Chains A and B, each alone.
With several copies, the nearest count.
Chain A
């Protein structure tokens, strides 16, 4: 893995650092890193890993660039809206560093493809925005014995840890399940599309993820393993918490190993405590076409999408409590919806006796699912 003349010029500022130097730069060139999620966290991670000279960078993301991504997904531009993120990223990054190999995967990471994808790489970056994929990454990295750098964000705060790392004494370090053995109920852990996020926050956390990858590959500094970093952008407070490996939690990840391909991460991460009636966009469409009497309630405060369902009444989540009686006095079917179908679950949970309300439904996937259905 020698460096050519152009690479020596490109990586000059690394080569003159004694902690990196030629050995470190060659290790980076030899390294293969898989970044799962090319969104808020993935964009900065990808830019700095590519700039640092990681020899092979894989990018997994099934989504396409949307206008509402750009305020924080700064690798892309307006000219790329509608393109697959993984492909748009490769196009930009190959101009940033033509000396590396970039590979776009436009399918969603799933139990079916995880072994094939992850086993081709040395280090994984968890830059996803949902729990099914976080647990999937954890379990397959444990199964395949790969370290991964986990980042996640909530509005003004970020979480960071290097997980399933093997230290230089050969000790196995904590995994994501050692930190959180089981996923939260979805409506208690809203993501950026429901709760918002300050654009620069994933920039900070994503860069810290790239930093950990580089340190791990070059064997320099203290890798953030056995610790969780919590960062608060409003106060600039950073706290490090030590965590222990929990063999029981690790076994939980491994116990389904032979059946991995059939394990359902979506339902594992969906709410189990209190059942809420869900209605699909297809079924709602049918019911409306059959002229069933349905009251549609739009709980969005600031809609991401301008579209509305026919005859919906708008009661933003924070006004719901005051208006509940008006909604539920009639005995027709009621369907709550929002942009993505999560805030509407929160709305239903705010209703009195919601468990017994047989005629209250949540529109699964929200307006996004509805608009997709309409296009067909």
Chain B
């Protein structure tokens, strides 16, 4: 099973792209630790994660082809 992850704002700089496909994730905690293993700088950042356009908490279970969005707060105005 795989999920598609889209990154907003400064997080796409940290990851180096706007979009990723991640294999074999269980819940959000698994996905987060996979992301941080690949992109250790992510741990310094503040962000919220949404699955299929709904903001969720860490224990949320992921299904095949779920769309995950990772968004930081924006400073600018």
> What distance in Å separates the Cβ of B11 from its nearest Cβ neighbour in chain A?
9
Beyond known contacts A153-B77, A159-B74, A189-B10: 20 more, CB 8 A cutoff: A126-B77, A152-B73, A154-B8, A154-B75, A154-B76, A157-B9, A157-B74, A179-B55, A180-B46, A183-B46, A185-B45, A185-B46, A191-B76, A192-B75, A192-B76, A195-B76, A202-B76, A241-B54, A241-B55, A243-B55
Q: Which residues of B contact A182 (CB under 8 A)?
A: 46
Q: Which residues of A contact B73 (CB under 8 A)?
A: 131, 134, 152, 159, 179-180, 183-184, 189
CA distance A185 to B42 in the complex (A): 12
Contact A242 B44 (CB under 8 A): no
Contact B75 A157 (CB under 8 A): no
Given known pairs A153-B76, A154-B9, A157-B9, the reply for A242 and B55 (CB within 8 Å) is yes
Q: Is A239 an interface residue (CB 8 A)?
A: yes
Q: Could you list which residues of chain A lie within 8 angstroms of chain B, going by C-beta atoms?
A: 37, 39-42, 126-131, 134, 151-155, 157-159, 179-180, 182-185, 188-192, 195, 197, 202, 228, 230, 239-244, 273
Q: Could you list which residues of chain B lie within 8 angstroms of chain A, going by C-beta atoms?
A: 8-10, 44-46, 48, 50, 53-55, 69, 71-77
Chain B's closest residue to A227 (CB) is B53
Q: Which residues of B contact A41 (CB under 8 A)?
A: 77
Q: Which residues of B contact A192 (CB under 8 A)?
A: 75-77
Q: Which residues of A contact B10 (CB under 8 A)?
A: 154, 188-190, 195
Given known pairs A179-B48, A185-B44, the reply for A130 and B75 (CB within 8 Å) is yes
CA distance A240 to B50 in the complex (A): 10
Contacts A/B (CB < 8 Å), 7 sampled: A130-B75, A157-B9, A157-B74, A179-B55, A188-B72, A190-B75, A195-B10
Chain B's closest residue to A41 (CB) is B77
Chain A's closest residue to B77 (CB) is A129
CA distance A182 to B8 in the complex (A): 18
CA distance A242 to B51 in the complex (A): 10
Most A CB contacts (10 A, CB to CB) among B54, B73, B76 go to: B76
Q: Which residues of A contact B75 (CB under 8 A)?
A: 129-131, 152, 154, 189-192
CA distance A185 to B45 in the complex (A): 7
> What distance in Å separates the Cβ of B14 from its nearest Cβ neighbour in chain A?
9
Most A CB contacts (10 A, CB to CB) among B48, B71, B72, B73 go to: B73
Contact B77 A37 (CB under 8 A): yes
Contact A184 B55 (CB under 8 A): no
Q: Which residues of A contact B74 (CB under 8 A)?
A: 152-154, 157-159, 189
Contact A128 B77 (CB under 8 A): yes
Q: Which residues of B contact A157 (CB under 8 A)?
A: 8-9, 74
Given known pairs A152-B74, A159-B71, A179-B55, the reply for A188 and B46 (CB within 8 Å) is yes
